[in-house]
Amino acid sequence: MSDRHRREWIYKLCTYGAIVGLFAFFLQVQNQADEYQIRILNVSAIFVTLAVSYNLINGVAGQFSLGPNAFMAVGAYTTALLTLSPAEKELSFIIEPIIWPLSVLHLPFLPSLLIGGAFAALLGFIMAFPVFRVRGDYLAIVTLGFGEVIRVVANNVQSITNGPLGLKGLSEYTNLWWSWGVAVFTVFCVTRLVKSSFGRAMQAIREDEVAAAAMGINVFRHKMLAFVVHAFFAGMAGGLMAHLITTISPTLFSFFLTFNLLVIIVIGGLGSMTGSIIAAIIITYAGEWLRVVEEPMAIGPYNIPGIPGMRMVVFSIMLILVMIFARQGLMGRREFSWEWFCGFLKIGKRRG
Amino acid sequence: MSFFKVEHLTMKFGGLVAVSDFSLTAKEGDLIGLIGPNGAGKTTAFNMITGRLLPTEGKIYFRGKDITGTQSHIINAGGIARTFQNIRLFNDLTVLENAMIGYHGRLRSSFWEAIFRLPRYKSEEKKMRSMARELLAEVQLDNVANEKAGTLAYGQQRKLEIARALATNPRLLLLDEPVAGMNPRETGNMMDFINSIREAYALAIILIEHDMRFVMGLCEHLIVLDHGVTIATGNPAEIQNNPQVIEAYLGEPEGA
């Protein structure tokens, strides 16, 4: 076996080792940490899933979509409607009774989650036909519109979504295993896809659509592929989110969510999955730590009442700083690799 | 059945007629030059042939099939590849990746086979990589295979663009100003390069170029466009002495 082969094997083992280590860490956390800590870790995982899949369409394929909140909504509602028992559903739907097949369907968490993802992917597939007729800013506006449409639909189709009342009393199925399991699976699928010939084709489309088409790449099909894969994982993340906070309503899936994700992938570096993962975790934790700035405080003789939304100001400043000092984001388009890591730690130096 | 045939191609942008009644016939292995002053409609003709523009009138036949108005990637799969006037490489991808893109259109595996690295995808990827490496070696770009395409020198970028087009396995290659901005020595090298790939890949080539020495030295047949109208066709010697061509390039003789 050649030196290169052996090294690749070692790196592979390192990756698996790291994943095992991660879950061993969670086992510890599950037993010792308080509920608040666990919750933040869960939210981090959901944002990792969202950011990585969102980066596929925005960073890798270069299609500026603003619609992940739509896919999350579809995933969340689908999953929630499937996990709620018929009796619970009958209790919740007080204004208009729930329509037939949904009123009796009841499935365990995993199949519900997968069906949630599948429905989001189906929406992505259907949306792809109109939205990819336009590019750039226009694409952003059209996808933004679809996000709003889904929210308005969720508000008004009361016999399916229970309207503005939303769905309450979902079981808290989401735990560290589910959330991080899905996150790791997402990272696995998306990075593998990006590193494959399909990923190269998507990047080619990002770099130059006309040239990509002239080189035999079916531009529409690859944009759609990125969009549908993104939708699938965003839908799963929505399902996880629903079963973490146990209550969903249309207001949860506003554009604000998309904005958050956009901040994450831009800070992480458009096109870098490593950057998305790091930024997703940083932003989630920062959101918690920065609660301080929203509390009432006393600076000298002045008493400042709590200002809700101050965190957003801090995030905006962060984004501006990134734009000024690191325009490519934290990672640019670079990715983590064990080779880089070893170089960083100065071990296993390359023989010249 | 002719190899490549363009009949009465016309492109109108509103009131502007960019190309009118453009016809061309090529046999396998032909090398045809398309010349004319700026704005004559040469690139527009290429754009119609490669499916970027839908011609207002006219038909394009390639290997017995009507390809008028077909999508770019399907035309490419059929065997027509092109380069661009202002180089359009995938700048952020490496040279090797740029070349590998050319093989993607012929990939048989589906995306989930790629995600889970199933055997069929693995072997296809391996084949793709070795074919791209071979191709780069042939065009002497293998020493920069892992550099970003955007960082290459100008001449190398031109070459890579041709190599990328060759990777799609074309029968007909359209070159849009392959020696624009090159000095005479580089132009000479490019001439040899085009001759060598023409033989090695049994290609028919149609090229647009302003460098007359290059065009006259390389092409066997020339078509001259001016304001969208074909004003002359023939071999280099005939074109050089055609009064209409001289007029298009230099203007009318004084006092005429």
A335 within some domain = no
Residue A348 has pLDDT above 70, yes or no: no
A77 within some domain = yes
Most A CBs within 10 A among B89, B96, B101, B166, hence the mutation to make, goes to B101
- A302-304 and B204-208: which strand pairing? unpaired
* pLDDT in the model for residue A1: 58
* Record: contact B165-A217, CB cut-off 8 A: no
Taking contacts as CB-CB distances below 8 angstroms, the residues of chain B near A186 are none
A184 within some domain = yes
Map residue B50 onto helix, strand or coil: coil
Map residue B90 onto helix, strand or coil: coil
Structure tokens at A83: 């996990």
Residue closest to A203 by CA, chosen among A267, A270, A122: A270
CA-CA distance, B64 to A211, in Å (whole number)?
A: 26
Structure tokens at A217: 């790449």
* pLDDT in the model for residue A212: 96
- For the stretch A3-24, pLDDT in tens is 888 888 998 899 999 999 999 9
- B204-208 and B31-35: which strand pairing? parallel
Using an 8 Å Cβ cutoff, are A212 and A205 in contact? yes
- How many distinct structural domains can be found in chain A? 1
A331 within some domain = no
* pLDDT in the model for residue A305: 82
* Record: contact B165-A210, CB cut-off 8 A: no
- For the stretch B108-124, pLDDT in tens is 999 999 999 999 999 99
Structure tokens at A106: 């009841």
Residue closest to A79 by CA, chosen among A243, A233, A231, A232: A243
* Record: contact A214-B90, CB cut-off 8 A: no
What's the domain range around A233?
33-253
Most A CBs within 10 A among B104, B106, B109, B166, hence the mutation to make, goes to B104
A342 within some domain = no
Using an 8 Å Cβ cutoff, are A200 and A77 in contact? no
A264 within some domain = no
* pLDDT in the model for residue B10: 95
- For the stretch B51-108, pLDDT in tens is 999 999 999 999 989 999 899 999 999 999 999 999 999 999 999 999 999 999 999 9
Helix (H) or strand (E) holding B35: strand B31-35
Domains, chain B, with CATH or none: 4-90+155-250 (3.40.50.300)
Helix (H) or strand (E) holding B10: strand B4-13
A24 within some domain = no
- For the stretch B176-205, pLDDT in tens is 999 998 999 999 999 999 999 999 999 999
- B31-35 and B229-234: which strand pairing? unpaired
* pLDDT in the model for residue A351: 46
pLDDT band at A32 (very low <50, low <70, confident <90, very high): confident
Which chain A residues touch B if contact means CB-CB below 8 Å?
189, 192-193, 196-198, 200-201, 203-204, 206-208, 210-219, 225, 229, 333
CA-CA distance, B37 to A172, in Å (whole number)?
A: 72
ipTM entry = 0.92
Q: How many CB pairs under 8 A join A and B?
A: 102
pLDDT band at A70 (very low <50, low <70, confident <90, very high): very high
- B4-13 and B172-176: which strand pairing? unpaired
Section A307-316 average pLDDT: 84
Residue A314 has pLDDT above 50, yes or no: yes
CA-CA distance, B15 to A7, in Å (whole number)?
A: 64
CA-CA distance, A226 to A52, in Å (whole number)?
A: 12
CA-CA distance, A295 to A297, in Å (whole number)?
A: 6
Residue A238 has pLDDT above 70, yes or no: yes
Helix (H) or strand (E) holding A56: none
**Residue with the two structure tokens 């490019």:** B190
CA-CA distance, A93 to A74, in Å (whole number)?
A: 18
A113 within some domain = yes
